[in-house]
Structure 1
Amino acid sequence: MNATYTCNGLSYPATIRLEGKGLFIELHRADGAGTVLWQYASIRPSERASFFGYNDYPPQTLEVLDAVLTSQLHEALRNPANRFRASRFGPLAKLLAIVLVLFSLVYFLVVPWVSGLLASRFPYSYEKQLGEQVYRSMVQPSDIDKPATAAANRFFQALQFDSEHPVRITVVKGDVVNAFALPGGHIIVYQKLLRGLDSYDEFAALLAHEFVHVRNRHTLRSVFRQFGGTIFLSLLVGDAGAVSAVLLNNVNELKNLSYSRRLETEADMEGLQLLRQRGISCRGFVQLFRFLQKESGAMQPSEWLSSHPDLSKRIGSIQRSGTCTEGNKDEQLHSLFLQLKTAE
């Protein structure tokens, strides 16, 4: 191990290696290994030579413990094209390129379709049970801000989003700017994110976005895509319980689960439609994304280098949307938001 990787306040020992595609970070966790890829174009050196940041959300940092690797990484950031030269294409390389293209087509076209199909056929009773198991393993009672949780649920109920199944908001303590949905109807919001919101329409936009993830089963679909091989084989032999085991063994990944660009855009646009139906201003989305943009750093990675759409492009899409209206002030939501901000 030659580095320490930190994301969302959690630190892991890691082994890094420099390759042509980027910096590979192999994490060594108690629940198993995992690998993170940092694109060179998005790595941000700091004032301390051995510390590096990454221009993506959620914020990530890396401390390199090996002086030689630190020097090599700085050299790669200065001129990665000269450090890693592509080899000439011979017949074998062309064949490999064709295989990679076919594999990419399968991964980006077939896998999402199969993931969506499996998620749509997965019984809601299993999904709810699965979500409860993951929630209990992830959120301890002492982590919950009970007054804020009660206020957040009152706010959500006042939004009157039409939902086939119950949705529950939980506000958790922690110096992390994050919110995410779990299978079965749980939405987790961190205190620090709430503190950064200035108006009720920002919180409404956040909940609308996460609610669409819940309603459209995006979390389940993304989980099936990320752990598709194991889950598919489990369902094939009728072992639905193995799905729970897969998720419980990878519970930390759910905090930073990356949705596809298509699912994130779907959550933005359908969430915006929900706000329009409720007469809430679209500026909530714009202000929310600007806050997240500020938290993740001034520079944003290219859309194609990220598993999420670029925040600047998401802001532009919201502003260009034909459903974007200013809306009138909702006194009920304004009052409930003030209760949430002052909950103790």
Structure 2
Amino acid sequence: MALSKTPTSTMSDQASEAIASALRTLEAEASGVTALAAALQADLGPTFAAAADLIRNARGRLIITGLGKSGHIGRKIAATFASTGTPAFFVHAAEASHGDLGMITADDVILALSWSGEQPEMKNLITYATRFSIGLIAMTSEAGSTLALAADVALTLPKAREACPHNLAPSTSSLMMLAMGDALAIALLEGRGFTSRDFSVLHPGGKLGALLKYTRDLMHQGDMVPLKPLGTKMSDALVEMSAKGFGCVGIVDASGHVVGIVTDGDLRRHMRADLMTVSVDDVMTKNPKTISRDLLAGEALELLNTAKITAVLVTDGKKPVGIVHLHDLLRAGVA
């Protein structure tokens, strides 16, 4: 039996409708983030700063809680805080009433997410925070809600229409909560001077972990580094370049300092009949780019791409201690 086929025109109409729907969704959600940015420049600004101060000054951790879609957003926000230097984890508001309140100490700060601010499951958590004088930050759209009124700091987000055509399914509101959580996390990251090296300690795995490795972890060392002294004939330099396989050879002076480099490009630019008999001094690129052994692999990749080179010498001071090739970064998963 032959399978029926959907007419091309119908498929085209369906595709157009899907794209139009996607654009409406993005427009609605973008308007929510725009409203949030405007609020931060007005009444929301001082409370945002107060929330950041409360989290920064906490002796314990940041406990994020929520239900439903707010709970899902809360889990992501907790992960962002934890990965950017603010100890944080998520406690489900309903589970809190069944023993998980024991995870929260008097030194902690609670960030409670609820668009309406009226979930019954939040009541026990609010009572617990009040009883033990635990700092409570509310993230809600209702300034007069039970949660907002009980909080030490209430982040009252501007109301915005959901992307859902029925204005029911949390979409714009969820994105606004996520954006506010990210804004808090990044403000704290920048405030405490959290660096890329701090970040590397918390992200040892995956592509991000590869980017945060150090040059010293990837570089070739010792006899594998192609080096020749000033005054070397190009014929000898070419042998060294070919033997080491990096497409270049570093040139050092009598003190062992890098003063130049001869690359495949230099060979092409100086190609002539007597090339093999001249000195490297006449062919080399002087004062070549070098990197430190403590440079992050991601930064090394950026340098290679920007300079349009495939290998770079690693130096300690001005003395060569290694070499890194683009292929090393590829094998490590950096690129």
Q: TM-score, normalised by structure 1?
A: 0.24
Bigger radius of gyration = 2
Q: Which has the higher contact order (CA 8 A, sep 6+)?
A: 1
Q: TM-score, normalised by structure 2?
A: 0.25
Higher helix share: 1
